Amino acid sequence: MGSYRFILSGGGTGGHIYPAIAIANELKQRYPDAEFLFVGAKDRMEMEKVPQAGYRIEGLWISGLQRKLTLKNLMFPFKVISSLIKSVKIVRRFKPHAVVGTGGFASGPLLKVASRKGIPCVLQEQNSYAGITNKLLANKVAKICVAYDGMEKFFPESKIVKTGNPVRGDLVALTSDKASALKFFGLQPNKPTLLVLGGSLGARRVNELLEEKLSFFKTFGIQIIWQCGKLYHEEYKKYENEEVKVFAFINRMDLAYRAADIIISRAGAGSVSELCIVGKPVIFIPSPNVAEDHQTKNAMALVEKEAAIMVREADLDTEFESSFSDVMLTKSLQEKLGSNIKKLALPNATKEIVDEIENLLR
């Protein structure tokens, strides 16, 4: 058998791109001679992130439907036709042995074409609420790898495998000790540390909350690692001091997680999966501005298992201080949240997804 060829398609957000890269890396480890091609949407972040990870990518002219009637929506049928034609050319030229879709609009046309040609296709659904592209493809693919229970309401039960979401390898290991992690951020070894995560671009409401509550946090004598996002760094870096470290982006997430005693985070699927592995007390503030409100659903899946606290954006003014104080001041609650969230971790997700792909190659 010559070397295998794999196409991976997904994008639009980091939540779709990073799992695809993690799956490619694991396939490459098993098949060093394999060829890889990523397919994304032309003007989205995958066009930059995938080459940085060392892979080739081709872009389709595709985007989502807007909620209201716009010029973009009128273009949508043309974009779909253009993307299907280009997908046919890509599949014909590259001749993949298997195709993996991790969600996002670009994976729709590509997996539709590949499955019609009888090429084995695997979907990876990160969220507890399935995305529209994956729902449309569900009947055409061989396997669907999911991270949450109860996904048979979206997908055929016989195709579902619960693997969890791929996370970065350095997090699974978390090898560094806490003292050196605190030192890396220039923080004190004897103070409780709060880590605040708003996603790679940042979260306006989370940043506003932090700005409002800095003096409230001071009463607990805590120090803060604040990832405010690149869109907001100019605005918030003025709060940087001995106790508050403000970052556009944190490159060493393994050290940030190690340093933290309590974490405030958005509830994107990738973040939730990482936080389960990290096993620390978390307060989720889900973004209400995402499709199908899936972040709230992701967070609720943990809250129902007493594995996290959630405060909705709409309730921050009335509920945040009491929720935070409960966690901060109750050692037993911290321990319960930390141990319950750790029980939900699926650290071997990437390997198990690639096992499924290998089964299809046979």
Q: Please say whether the beta carbons of 142 and 353 come within 8 A.
A: no
Q: Indicate whether 114 and 249 sit together in one domain.
A: no
The pTM of the full predicted model, rounded to 2 decimals, is: 0.85
Are 98 and 127 in a shared domain?
Answer: yes
Instruction: Estimate the share of the chain in helix, then strand, then coil, as percent rounded to the nearest 5.
Output: 50, 15, 35
- At 286 the three-state DSSP class reads coil
Query: Which pLDDT band, with edges at 50, 70 and 90, does 337 fall under?
Result: very high
Are 155 and 101 contained in the same domain?
yes
pLDDT digits (tens, 9 = 90+) for 207-221: 999 999 999 999 999
- Residue 76: the pLDDT is 80
Looking at the structure, do residues 113 and 66 belong to the same domain, yes or no? Answer: yes
Stretch 265-274: mean pLDDT: 91
Q: Output the known binding site for UDP-N-acetyl-alpha-D-glucosamine.
A: 13-15, 127, 168, 200, 250, 295
What single DSSP character describes residue 242?
S
Q: From the CA atom positions of the chain, what is the Rg in Å?
A: 21
**Both structure tokens of 145:** 């790898």
Q: How many CB atoms lie within 10 A of CB 3?
A: 10
Same domain membership, residue 327 and residue 179: yes
Binding-site annotation: residue ranges: 13-15, 127, 168, 200, 250, 295
Q: Which pLDDT band holds residue 162 (cuts at 50, 70, 90)?
A: very high
Chain mean position to CA 292: 16
Whether the CB-CB separation of 247 and 319 falls below 8 Å is answered with no
Q: What percent of the chain has pLDDT over 70?
A: 95
Range of the structural domain that residue 265 is part of: 170-343
Same domain, 155 and 181: no
Shared domain check, 162 and 177? no
Domain shared by 155 and 277, yes or no: no
For residue 357, what is the domain's CATH number? 3.40.50.2000
Q: How many domains does the chain have?
A: 2
Q: Would you say 225 and 259 are in contact if contact means Cβ atoms under 8 Å apart?
A: yes
Average pLDDT rounded to a whole number, residues 50-59: 92
99 with 65, same domain: the answer is yes
Same structural domain, 209 and 186: yes
Reduce the secondary structure of 9-70 to three states and give it as a string: ECCCCHHHHHHHHHHHHHHHHHCCCCEEEEEEECCCCHHHHHHHCCCCEEEECCCCCCCCCC
Confidence at residue 65, expressed as pLDDT on a 0 to 100 scale:
61
* Residues 46-57 as b or e (16 or more Cβ within 10 Å = b): bbebbeebebeb
pLDDT at 19 over 70: yes
Q: What's the pLDDT score for residue 200?
A: 67
Residues 163 and 180 in one domain: no
What pLDDT, on a 0 to 100 scale, did the predictor assign at position 252?
A: 87
Same domain, 209 and 330: yes
